[in-house]
């Protein structure tokens, strides 16, 4: 299993809700920890990955890697999309839906 940690100090629920509540099959063993403890466990190889703040990354950028452009997807059909944007909506180049109907619902 992949060891994944996240903290309740950040708003991560949209990303981890299904995993945290075992609503989907997943390869993760999860831990909810304070960010400082997450950093220590990452540095000592006790975690495979974690969701942390930019501040935690800035404390040790040489030993941490940012996963750029994560993909949110589902292996099962879904009738709903839940997208969160803080800013930069005009910079999004691609939104993918498996069916024409899904894409029509996403496009204005």
What stretch of H or E contains 73? none
* Residue 35: burial class (beta carbons within 10 Å; 0-12, 13-18, 19+): buried
Q: Residue 3 CA to chain centroid, in angstroms?
A: 14
Pick the more confident residue, 10 or 95.
Answer: 10
4-59 per-position pLDDT tens digit: 999 888 878 878 888 888 888 888 999 999 999 999 999 999 999 998 888 888 88
Q: How many CB atoms lie within 10 A of CB 56?
A: 19
Over 90: is that where the pLDDT of 80 sits? no
The residues with which 4 forms a beta bridge, in sequence order, are 30, 49
The pLDDT confidence band at residue 83, using thresholds 50, 70 and 90, is: low
């Amino acid at each position: 299993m992949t060891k994944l940690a996240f903290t309740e100090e950040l708003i991560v629920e949209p990303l981890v809700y299904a995993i945290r509540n075992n609503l989907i099959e997943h390869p993760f063993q999860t831990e909810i920890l304070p960010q400082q403890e997450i950093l220590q466990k990452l540095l000592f190889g006790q975690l495979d990955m974690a969701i942390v703040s930019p501040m935690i990354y800035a404390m040790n950028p040489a030993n941490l890697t940012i996963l750029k452009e994560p993909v949110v997807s589902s292996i099962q059909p879904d009738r709903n999309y839940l997208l969160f944007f803080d800013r930069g909506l005009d910079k999004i180049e691609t939104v993918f839906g498996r069916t024409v109907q899904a894409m029509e619902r996403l496009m204005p």
